[in-house]
């Protein structure tokens, strides 16, 4: 093979390999981080058509919930890690393990874990039976 053609084939092969590697790296970096939500307790209350719900939410490092609302008051206790909370009508606030906070019904908000360890939250709702606990906002 002539030296010029050999250089061309080598350059084309290297370009293709770098393109494939770059695409793989970019897709790995943009893959969404899975958030775990587990209902621990769902209990009818003494008030008609109301239920109490307790959930455990785990946000891995780098995870963001995305903007959403709840149909009921949400009472949150940070068990481990830390989150930044963007809450409609309020400045972004950081909550760490041991902190407790409240989110009003219908308020658009989202939590982000910018730390290096998972953030674990205990969340309690007192809500109307049968309603979804979370509604995404676009």
Annotated domain spans of the chain: 1-31, 36-136
Backbone angles phi, psi at 26, to 5 degrees: -65, -40
Residue pLDDT, tens place only, 23-33: 444 444 556 67
pLDDT, residue 33, reads 76
Q: Which CATH superfamily is domain 36-136 in?
A: Jelly Rolls (2.60.120.10)
Distances (CA, A) of 101 to 57, 94, 105: 14, 11, 13
Q: Is 110:64 a contact under the CB 8 Å cutoff?
A: yes
Residue pLDDT, tens place only, 53-68: 999 999 999 999 999 9
Residue pLDDT, tens place only, 56-107: 999 999 999 999 999 999 999 999 999 999 999 999 999 999 999 999 999 9
Q: Tell me whether strands 74-80 and 100-103 are parallel, antiparallel or unpaired.
A: antiparallel
Its pTM stands at 0.75
The pLDDT of residue 20 is above 50: no
Q: Is 69:80 a contact under the CB 8 Å cutoff?
A: no
């Amino acid at each position: 093979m002539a030296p010029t053609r050999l250089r061309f084939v080598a350059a084309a092969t290297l370009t293709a390999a770098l393109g494939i590697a770059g695409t793989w790296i970019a897709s790995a970096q943009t893959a969404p981080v899975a958030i775990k939500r587990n209902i621990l307790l769902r209990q009818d209350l003494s008030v008609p058509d109301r239920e109490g719900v307790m959930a455990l939410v785990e946000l891995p490092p780098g995870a963001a919930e995305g903007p959403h609302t709840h149909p009921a008051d949400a009472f949150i206790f940070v068990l481990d890690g830390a989150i930044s909370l963007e809450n409609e009508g309020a400045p972004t606030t950081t909550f760490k393990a041991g902190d407790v906070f409240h989110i009003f019904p219908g308020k658009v908000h989202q939590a982000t874990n910018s730390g290096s360890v998972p953030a674990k939250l205990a969340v309690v709702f007192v809500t109307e039976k049968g309603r979804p606990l979370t509604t995404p906002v676009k």
